[in-house]
Amino acid sequence: MVCHVPNLAPCKYLLIQPFAAHPIPGGWGQNGVRWSTMETMATATSSRLLTLEAFRDAQSRIRGVAARTPLVRLLQPDFGGAEVWIKAEGLQPIGSFKLRGAYNKIAQLSPSERSRGVITYSSGNHAQGVAYAARAVGAKAVIVMPSNAPEVKKRATAALGAEIVEVGPASSDRQRKAEELEAQYGYIMIPPYDDEQIIAGQGTCGLEILEDLPDVDLVLSPVSGGGLLSGIATAIKQSNSAVRVIGVEPELAADAQESFRSGTRVTWPADKTTRTICDGLRTQSLGERNFEHIRTYVDDIITVSEAEIRSAMRTLLFNARLTPEPSGAASAAGILFHREQLLPFRKAVVVMSGGNVEPEVLTSVLSENPAR
């Protein structure tokens, strides 16, 4: 459906009621909504949410640039008769899912916009996505990165031809600097998550999951700013509302869970979110658009410990032959260590969002328990 909103460009949205999610244990109402936040959740009735058409358009647009990543079976004796599959986004050309949204956004820029160059702010994976997509269309890319970004991600971004500007560790620092440069030089901003075309691009991951495993009944995705989770949840729920979608984030950076369960978007300070090993999950708050989609379509958000994330990295490496970065292993930690927070499932997909891990980090994780 294409609608026209006064004073805005044509868009593909649908006014939609909040999704009636499956019951979730632990103080949640029969529609998957905490009674204490029912009034706040009802405000989503006036939100503009992406339609399935937007995700299908994005899927066609990124075909041939972003990879259609495989589902890899994770065999664990404690899964019983259930199947668990890994959506291996670390096998993308840039090593993470971020290429999906970045290319979907940049490919739609006009020739005059491309000539101005693009800019973004990122801890590393979106940086590479924007740099890769910009190079593909012949546009200059400027990336504002935190000083504590992994060197492997800085080098990869620079190798793709991007100009890197470093700032402090807070996500607010890099966003502020990017906006300053945007105003000064006229660059086109490519947001890392709070953007309809970014969400649509990331949601193509969800479409692929449904196409490759039609009878999936549970999907776990990491969450930080919310681009991947909001896209996957919206694409999946609009295709098959029976599939449960759960977000997973580090307990040391649990702003998304607090926002989801309180019904109000909250911000955590950088000195709290930067404690986690997951450099890709240190964003201080969900994006506004992402939050609207998440609270409408996501069933729950759970948290995992640092030790669980590190153990999940070893499990993915040895049992699935995949190499995850810490952020990419968060969802696996959720299904490996928090089955009691998940309703029974028959076929689950865990999104491994990326594999751009620092060699020193991987060495440290493997040395903790070489047998696993």
Query: 110 with 40, same domain?
Result: no
Report the chain's C-alpha Rg in angstroms: 19
Identified catalytic residue from 12, 87, 98, 153: 98
Q: Is residue 5 part of a domain?
A: no
**Domain end: 125, 156, 189, which one?**
189
Cβ 82 vs Cβ 330: under 8 Å: no
Strand partners for 22? none
Beta-carbon contacts of residue 372 (< 8 Å; ≥ 6 apart): 311, 314, 315, 318
Q: Write out pLDDT tens, residues 131-146.
A: 999 999 999 999 999 9
Q: How far is CA 104 from CA 64, 112, 191, 221, in A?
A: 12, 17, 12, 20
| Same domain membership, residue 352 and residue 256 | yes
Query: Are residues 238 and 320 both part of a single domain?
Result: yes
Residues 334 and 199 in one domain: yes
In a domain, 1, yes or no: no
Residues 134 and 267 in one domain: no
Q: 160-203, pLDDT tens digit by residue?
A: 999 999 999 888 899 999 999 999 999 999 999 999 999 999 99
Residues 42 and 116 in one domain: no
CATH number at residue 263: 3.40.50.1100
**Residue 161 in domain:** yes
129 shares its domain with 226:
no
Number of domains in the chain: 2
Using the 3D structure, point to which of 122, 154, 189 is the last residue of a domain: 189
Task: From 189, 213, 245, give the residue that closes a domain.
Answer: 189
Same domain membership, residue 114 and residue 220: no
Catalytic choice (259, 311, 331, 353): 353
Q: Are residues 185 and 146 in the same domain?
A: yes
Query: Is 242 inside any structural domain?
Result: yes
Question: Long-range contacts for 357-364 (Cβ within 8 Å, ≥24 apart)?
Answer: 357/150, 357/152, 357/313, 357/323, 357/324, 357/325, 357/326, 358/150, 358/151, 358/152, 359/152, 361/150, 361/277, 361/325, 361/326, 362/313, 362/323
* Domain shared by 87 and 103, yes or no: no
Give CA–CA dist 372/361, Å, rounded. Answer: 16
Catalytic residue flag (residue 98): yes
Per-residue pLDDT at 45: 34
Q: Does residue 280 lie within any of the structural domains? A: yes
**What range defines the domain where residue 227 resides?**
13-95+195-368
pLDDT in tens, 244-298: 999 999 999 999 999 999 999 999 999 999 999 999 999 999 999 999 999 999 9
Does 225 lie in the same domain as 166? no
My answer on whether 69 and 118 are in the same domain is: no
Asked if the structure places residue 123 within a domain, the reply is: yes
288-334 pLDDT, tens digit each: 999 999 999 999 999 999 999 999 999 999 999 999 999 999 999 99
